[in-house]
A and B are shown apart, each in its own frame.
Chain A
Amino acid sequence: MDEQLKSELRRQGVVATSLQELYNWGRKSSLWPLNFGLACCAIEMIATTMARYDLARFGAEVFRPSPRQADLMIVAGTVTKKMAPQVVRLYNQMPEPKYVISMGACAISGGPFKQGYNVLKGIDRYIPVDVYIPGCPPRPEALIDAFMMLQRKIDAQELTGPNRPRHLNAEMASEFVIPEFGAHDLEPPSNPEVWSAPLVNIEIAGKNEPGNG
């Protein structure tokens, strides 16, 4: 239906909607996060749910203690290599539709521990991430912004057609390989289905941009 016509009707007291709109509205307004934190980002996540920032305004106040009841995984903090299999296992145990917010520098890329031997260089190596929030740690406002961004993303999803989300496409996997502890590193070191190294030739990258000669 034409957007203009819809708003015109709404002004006259007639509400017209579509199943897709209702479906997406329902899901985006009751995102239940999984109740787990990994490091200092979790403190900011807790602060976000408390009275001052009040995440309940967005329908996300019920942090679930079980992955079976959660829609959203907030990876809040440093994912060590020892912790990574558990995080992926929790993600696999969540029912579809499920979303991931990668919160903070460590969850995105390993952050200050990137060159270390014990920290995973970003949770997106094993599970698909919907929203990244940079920061060390990100402020509650940033987490709320990520929430709103995720809500907009859910709102824009089409229920049919080739662009339909993963949980409506039977051919797409909803479980991802759980890494195992190897002799030198996690096996496999990343899941090629969701992540591949962004190979960039540093010597030519950026040369074509103005001001870089």
Chain B
Amino acid sequence: MNLETVKQEIEANVPGCAVDMVLNGSPSAQHSLLVDAAHGFAVAQFLRDGAAVRMDYCSNVTGIDWPVKEISTKVKTKKMVDGVEKDVDEVVKTQSGGYLEVVYHLYSVAEREGPVIVRMRTEDRAAGVHLPSLTPLWRSAEYQEREVFDLYGVMFDGHPDLRRLLMWEGFEDFPMRRDYVDPDDYEYEPTAHDEVLQRTREHWSAEDCK
């Protein structure tokens, strides 16, 4: 089944939801569907139970961190300079990212279809990190959503047992986020460079640097 048809099916059967195609420009051309978080559960339920799609198997749950990124693009505009119209390059700055994303890979064993890739995005990376849990629909998502919570800090509403999986209870950071700073347990590195070298220098006393 074409992803475009899946999108139309969703839009026809789940009222009010916003579904976007996220195109993948690589040769694999694995395009995906971006679903708004508010309708995420309803869309997933339709994908599982809808007669035409029947995605009965969730094979993978992935987290992605998109930190805020400033993109500057050059835009050619016409401007009046000294009474003459000229083409001027203008730099337009836009911001992208600033949210966490969860990706689900769905397959239909019954229809031998898949994968249908569904993405959901949180509002931001601080307080609004809530997304609906799809564990009530696909039990296989339970541990993977726990892992995404553990490493990225996405709060899955409706998850039956949202605890840390790999790190311990009481650990406060989310180590797979881009801005995670790992503890400074420095030791000698024979090929230190960049960040490691910077840290190394901080540990040297004035005596060492002679």
**A interface residues (Cβ-Cβ under 8 A, vs B):** 81-82, 109, 117-118, 121-122, 181-185, 189-190, 197-202
| Chain A contacts for B197, CB-based, 8 A | 202
14 cross-chain CB contacts under 8 A = A81-B168, A82-B167, A118-B166, A183-B171, A183-B172, A183-B173, A189-B185, A197-B186, A197-B188, A199-B203, A199-B208, A200-B188, A202-B190, A202-B192
**B interface residues (Cβ-Cβ under 8 A, vs A):** 166-173, 175, 180, 182-183, 185-190, 192, 197, 200, 203-204, 208-209
Contacts known (A82-B168, A199-B204, A201-B204); A121 close to B175, Cβ less than 8 A: no
**B170, closest chain A residue (CB):** A181
> How far in angstroms is the closest Cβ of chain A from B146?
15
> How far in angstroms is the closest Cβ of chain B from A116?
8
Consensus secondary structure, chain B interface: loop
| Chain A contacts for B188, CB-based, 8 A | 197-200, 202
Contact A181 B208 (CB under 8 A): no
Cα A182 to Cα B172 in complex, Å, equals: 9
Which of A181, A199, A200 contacts B171 (CB under 8 A)? A181
Contacts known (A201-B204, A202-B200); A184 close to B173, Cβ less than 8 A: yes
| Chain A contacts for B170, CB-based, 8 A | 181-183
Q: Known contacts A82-B167, A184-B173, A189-B185; can you find 11 more A-B pairs with CB under 8 A?
A: A81-B168, A117-B175, A122-B187, A181-B170, A183-B173, A197-B187, A197-B188, A197-B203, A200-B188, A201-B208, A202-B188
Contacts known (A121-B185, A197-B186, A202-B192); A181 close to B168, Cβ less than 8 A: yes
> How far in angstroms is the closest Cβ of chain B from A17?
44
| Chain B contacts for A181, CB-based, 8 A | 168-171
Closest 8 CB pairs of A and B: A185-B183, A117-B175, A181-B168, A183-B172, A200-B188, A198-B188, A197-B187, A201-B208
Cα A117 to Cα B204 in complex, Å, equals: 23
Cα A40 to Cα B53 in complex, Å, equals: 42
| Chain A contacts for B166, CB-based, 8 A | 82, 118
> How far in angstroms is the closest Cβ of chain B from A122?
8
**B193, closest chain A residue (CB):** A202
**A181, closest chain B residue (CB):** B168
> How far in angstroms is the closest Cβ of chain B from A160?
36
Cα A122 to Cα B200 in complex, Å, equals: 18
Which of A117, A182, A197, A198 contacts B182 (CB under 8 A)? A117
| Chain B contacts for A109, CB-based, 8 A | 187
> How far in angstroms is the closest Cβ of chain A from B189?
8
> How far in angstroms is the closest Cβ of chain B from A183?
4
Cα A121 to Cα B204 in complex, Å, equals: 20
**A195, closest chain B residue (CB):** B187
Which of B167, B173, B185, B200 contacts A190 (CB under 8 A)? B185
> How far in angstroms is the closest Cβ of chain A from B198?
12
| Chain B contacts for A118, CB-based, 8 A | 166-167, 175
Cα A199 to Cα B186 in complex, Å, equals: 9
Contact B192 A121 (CB under 8 A): no
Contacts known (A117-B180, A118-B166); A198 close to B187, Cβ less than 8 A: yes
| Chain B contacts for A200, CB-based, 8 A | 188
| Chain A contacts for B204, CB-based, 8 A | 199, 201
Cα A181 to Cα B170 in complex, Å, equals: 7
> How far in angstroms is the closest Cβ of chain A from B174?
10
| Chain B contacts for A82, CB-based, 8 A | 166-168
Contact A184 B187 (CB under 8 A): no
